[in-house]
A = this chain, B = another copy of it.
């Protein structure tokens, strides 16, 4: 910067003004500075700028799992909105592990990010509240109900209800739920499943199995479910990945979907839309969630409210081909008719 100033025959301060394109610089000087910078390949040092400005214009984005396309979509939304406001999004990966998430948050804090978006975090509510005290922090995930933290969520309870209602209306009674394990969103979806089962008058059949959020997590659970005394005719899975894993295993076992068993996922990732899976699922408006997360953060930054802000978006059932009426009562297992929607 020193050099640029010298070369352009101006003071360092003026260079700074040009670099921040302040309006009160004469066209003449501006150009000469820009030229000098160009010639010397000068690039402002972000660390120094941040230090001097006492601002970083950066938000931290903690992603649970980069392999799940759902998160990729949310992050896309966050990045787009952040860029709109001149913010840079710093992406860190939680690797589906609470301890590593905490490390990542620690890194964010050292970076002095102005806000953090935790996308599908696994850290406990207590840690969350503690963090939120220091730096604005928004939890993005369906069905998080964290006290004292801002949240952007798709109504997971409602989403689960949509799924169960759909299955119930097709005539299913034995509907099982493969739940999300330690995933934050798991609880709300579980609750939705429960309430919808009750509402449909089939509360007696409530069957919740601890699974997870990855295809591999589905395998054992499907085996359990199939070998149960009274196997379900429909399964509501925590997310699309889990549902995909279920589909794999059901196929292995020679169980036809949806003829023998109906299956519903969650997230409406592009995987669900693949024709060969054609998974009935519950849509989350990922892009909107991302954008809203950033907006929330910015509001929090300027605003001084204590009230936690909660944005809840509407889920939407997307019916595809993995759901249909249950097999005839008589025929206990495979073979079922093909008359689905």
A-side residues, CB < 8 A to B, are 41, 43-48, 50-51, 56, 65-69, 71-73, 75-76, 79, 88, 90-93, 95, 106-107, 109-112, 134, 215, 244, 247-248, 251-252, 270-271, 274-277
Q: Are B45 and A51 interface neighbours, CB within 8 A?
A: yes
A334 to B65, CA, bound (A): 41
User: How many copies of the shown chain assemble into the complex?
Assistant: 2
Pairs A-B, 9 closest by C-beta atoms: A66-B72, A91-B91, A248-B275, A67-B72, A47-B47, A47-B50, A46-B110, A276-B276, A251-B275
Q: Are B43 and A109 interface neighbours, CB within 8 A?
A: yes
Q: Are B215 and A270 interface neighbours, CB within 8 A?
A: yes
Q: A45-B51, A67-B72 are in contact. Are A90 and B90 (CB under 8 A)?
A: yes
Identity of the chain B residue whose Cβ is nearest the Cβ of A250 in the assembled complex: B275
Contacts of A215 in B (CB 8 A): 270, 274
Q: Are B275 and A252 interface neighbours, CB within 8 A?
A: yes
A44 to B45, CA, bound (A): 19
Q: A51-B48, A72-B72, A251-B275 are in contact. Are A107 and B88 (CB under 8 A)?
A: yes
Identity of the chain B residue whose Cβ is nearest the Cβ of A92 in the assembled complex: B91
A47 to B43, CA, bound (A): 16
Select which of B46, B56, B244 is within 8 A of A274 by beta carbon. B244
A111 to B44, CA, bound (A): 9
- Count chain B CB atoms within 10 A of each CB in A48, A76, A252, A276 and give the residue with the most: A276
Q: Are B72 and A76 interface neighbours, CB within 8 A?
A: no
Q: Are A47 and B51 interface neighbours, CB within 8 A?
A: yes
Identity of the chain B residue whose Cβ is nearest the Cβ of A270 in the assembled complex: B215
Q: Are B270 and A251 interface neighbours, CB within 8 A?
A: no
Contacts of A252 in B (CB 8 A): 275
